[in-house]
Amino acid sequence: MSQPIYDDENIFAKILRGEIPCNKVDECDHTLSFHDIQPQAPVHVLVIPKGPYVNMTDFSEKAPPEAQAAYIAALGRVAKMVGVAEDGYRLIANTGTNGHQDVPHLHVHIMGGQPLGRMMPSAH
């Protein structure tokens, strides 16, 4: 399946261009991490690549290996920085329509700071 065209006007693209602020946690050459504006857990941080990738499928197909490696490294580094690595946390990458993705720029949610329950409480 082909990936949707990247929309330069999405909110995370604007954050990356410095057009709107974010509450930054971490930054490297390839990634930016910041607190979610509507946290759904005591710790709720978003990790995004600096390149224009719509979702994980797009990123895995098109991002250069150094950007992919840096992204994985950022997830682990930021989890430690925000203090959830020891007690545990959840990574979520909502993707596309069925994944209920609102912002069309790849982002992984790092959530933790309390027990998060089952992954999908409504599932049997």
The secondary structure of residue 120, as a DSSP letter, is S
> Structure tokens of 39?
């946290």
> Minimal distance in Å, beta carbon 91 to ligand AMP?
12
Determine contact, residues 41/113, Cβ cutoff 8 Å: yes
Contacts of 102 (CB under 8 A, 6+ apart): 94
Among 68, 85, 94, 116, binds ligand AMP (CB under 6 A): 94
- DSSP bridge partners of 34: 24, 46
109 in catalytic set: no
CA 115 centroid distance within chain: 20
- Only segment of 59-67, 72-80, 82-90, 93-101 that touches ligand AMP (CB under 6 A): 93-101
Mode of pairing for the β-strands spanning 31-35 and 24-27 = antiparallel
Amino acid at 15: I
Binding of ligand AMP at residue 102 (CB under 6 A)? yes
Among 2, 38, 97, 98, binds ligand AMP (CB under 6 A): 38
Q: Which of 44, 105, 107, 109 is catalytic?
A: 107
- Only segment of 2-10, 24-32, 33-41, 82-90 that touches ligand AMP (CB under 6 A): 33-41
Residues that bind ligand AMP (CB under 6 A): 11, 22, 34, 36-38, 46, 94, 100-103
Active site residues: 107
